[in-house]
Structure 1
Amino acid sequence: MDIVVNEELKAYIDPLTEEEYEALERSILAEGCRDALVLWGDVLVDGHNRFGICRKHGLPFQTVQNTRFQSMDDVYLWMIDQHLGRRSISEFQRGVLALRKREIVAARRAQASAPNAASQTDQHQPMDSAVAAPPPLDTREAVAKAARLSSNQVVMIEKIQKQATPEVVAAVKAGTISINAAAAVASLPAEEQITAAAAGKDELKQAAKRVRESKRKVRNESAPAVDPTEAGAEDTVESLRQRVGALTAENTALRQQVAALQQQLRAASSLAQTEDSAAPF
């Protein structure tokens, strides 16, 4: 059987690094190709690196057919799920794959909701062999869960995909800079991104730092100033409260003084009456 290598499928998942490829080659040379290659008809779906190594060294390998695939989208979703479950891929790769899955699932659901979708499904996709519809990934939280990332990381990966130059994307894929730093650098004009990437890891980090500091400065400068009218009103209210307190205390003291004077007047009046009664006629 002739195995067909679809270049689009082969490139759909990021290739192994040179070190990873060499490690896989050593393993196959020592132990043989233990995992079967996955085919859809005669098209190779999974095991491109193993297939290439086995052909290079004339080594035998096994194949297995996945008969549940009904379309290329089924193949893509299967490939994505296989790689999302592996520990060897980076956080950035997981985020990219989960976002790709979201696009495929969204397109499928939109197609399924079309008026003639039901009849097309009945005619072209037997229900007993169709791939089960994956759950929707219509929120960032759902995408983050699928990729085992935080929602904030998903936002940054989306920004990198939309705004970063290929040079910056290559740097984050290689682990030269973090997702956070790459998202910051992606805010710069393309020329500055390319220059920073060409200068290497340290310059990329410095560029990310400058972007963050610039944003922090803008936030501080644009922070809402205290309304002097409101501040004056608050001061007036507080002053009135203090004044009321002082007047209340003053009033209490005056009442006490009046009461004391009244007591003294009563005592004086009583004394005068006593003296008048004791005086001779």
Structure 2
Amino acid sequence: MADSNIEWTEKTWNPTTGCTKISKECDNCYAEVMTNRMMHMPNQPRYKAGFGVFAMHEDALGEPYKWKKPTTVFVNSMSDLFHKDMKIEFLQKIFKVMNDTPQHTYQVLTKRHHEITKYSKDLNWADNIWMGVSVGSEAGVRRIEHLVNCGAKHKFLSVEPLLEELPDLNLKGIDLVIVGGESGDNSSRPVELDWILKVKKNCDQQGVPFFFKQWGMKKFNPNLNDPTMDKRHRYYAKGGCMINGKIYLSNPSNPNSPDTPTLELFGNEYYIMDDYSDLKSIWELKSYLPFMEDDLYEQLKTDIKINGLNDPILFVATPNGEKLVIEGHTRLRACIELKLKNIPTKEVKENFESIDDIKLWMVRHQFQRRNLSSVEKIELALLSKETIEKMAKDNLYKAGKNKEIDKSIDTYAEIAKIAGVGRTSVFMYSAIIEKASDSVKQKLRKGDISITSAYDKVKDIPEKKITKPKNKANNYKILDSIEEAQKLLEDGKIQGVTILKNKAQIDMLNNYVKTKFGIVITEA
């Protein structure tokens, strides 16, 4: 038995090894890759014969009897329990083990639907056995009928890897559908969002739990900013596992399956990352500031272990009474790993009106904790650039809706205010980062050269130009002011407005925006 990285199970048990490819879902079989690796390892004798040889292992039958903790187990992750070379006597022995250990939940998966029908009456389908078939292609849909007609009490579909659009699925008699993209090292067959959504719609309409495992590879994920692609995310999966910003992990086959708790903040729901000692965290704040380097983190963790946590973790109370961490995420991580209790905390009583307000506060608060140079202050303050630009766009949107704007927003001025430096310093630093050579940037960060001196080296360098594709009509109109943008929006002559820093960004934007839109340039 081995702990499993497969998202919908906990452990794997392989009383048989080896298999034979029978469908295109098998083309990039992960079990074959792993077998080819393990067959050369002296401590893995069961795989010595290679992937192409189906082998039954009597010595593996006793393993589940030794497991003390109730566990969800994927049976034969490295083979197929209904392989053509399986002997019914050995199959019955495997089922007897599952029958004898009702504290565990067993998940069995096959592509050999005819064998299910052939052996079903000769097997004892206890309540703790979930039987499933793979349905990654249209040809695999025929397996569902055989699964439904077998004697298993619980049945599931593994729509993985999903290789093409499937017809509408009849899910009567199915208790769970698991969907995922191809994730092997040799994967080159992408899964499409529309295919996934169609399967999910079938599940929703027929009341069947839906589990989305992962996109397979990052390149297949339509959202390159999917936070679940980060290994530090609570719901990390290869290639990410969000569909249009949502996570779907409904899994009745695993009694220990993680739920996806959320908290409400400013009218939006956020997935909870940490829930420890009445403190909660969310990814949007936990990841906003740079993560600490591993070696520094280990030093911090050791210090906390020896001396305890001296600085309190700061939180803000949500409308529902949760304590949401807004400062001290790294220290909280160390406390969790050290299993510390009675963590010192302190409530921050600020009148936050949005999560962006909290983000800006987090950056400002860092200046109170650190002794930073002007360059370091600007770099830290620039983490808020996207947040500030978002506020500027929100103001423009309000103007288009005839709503009162609280104040105009100058991005450089706001960043300068956070950093405690002049607006000109921020402007010059931004130009340096955009135009300067790596050596100049390195000298600047080391303090070997001032911002002004570095800027003198790049101020006359023209902005990089982006070549515009030929024979492509422009979808934009350059505007002189927000007021002009408001009037064109009201007249329906444009469908949206975009604020850009400079003209060099226009052609790149035109490649992606298909509707007519206006552009307001913030710099001369």
TM-score by length of 1: 0.44
Higher helix share: 1
TM-score (norm: length of structure 2): 0.27
Considering Cα pairs closer than 8 Å and 6+ residues apart, tell me whether 1 or 2 has the greater RCO. Answer: 1
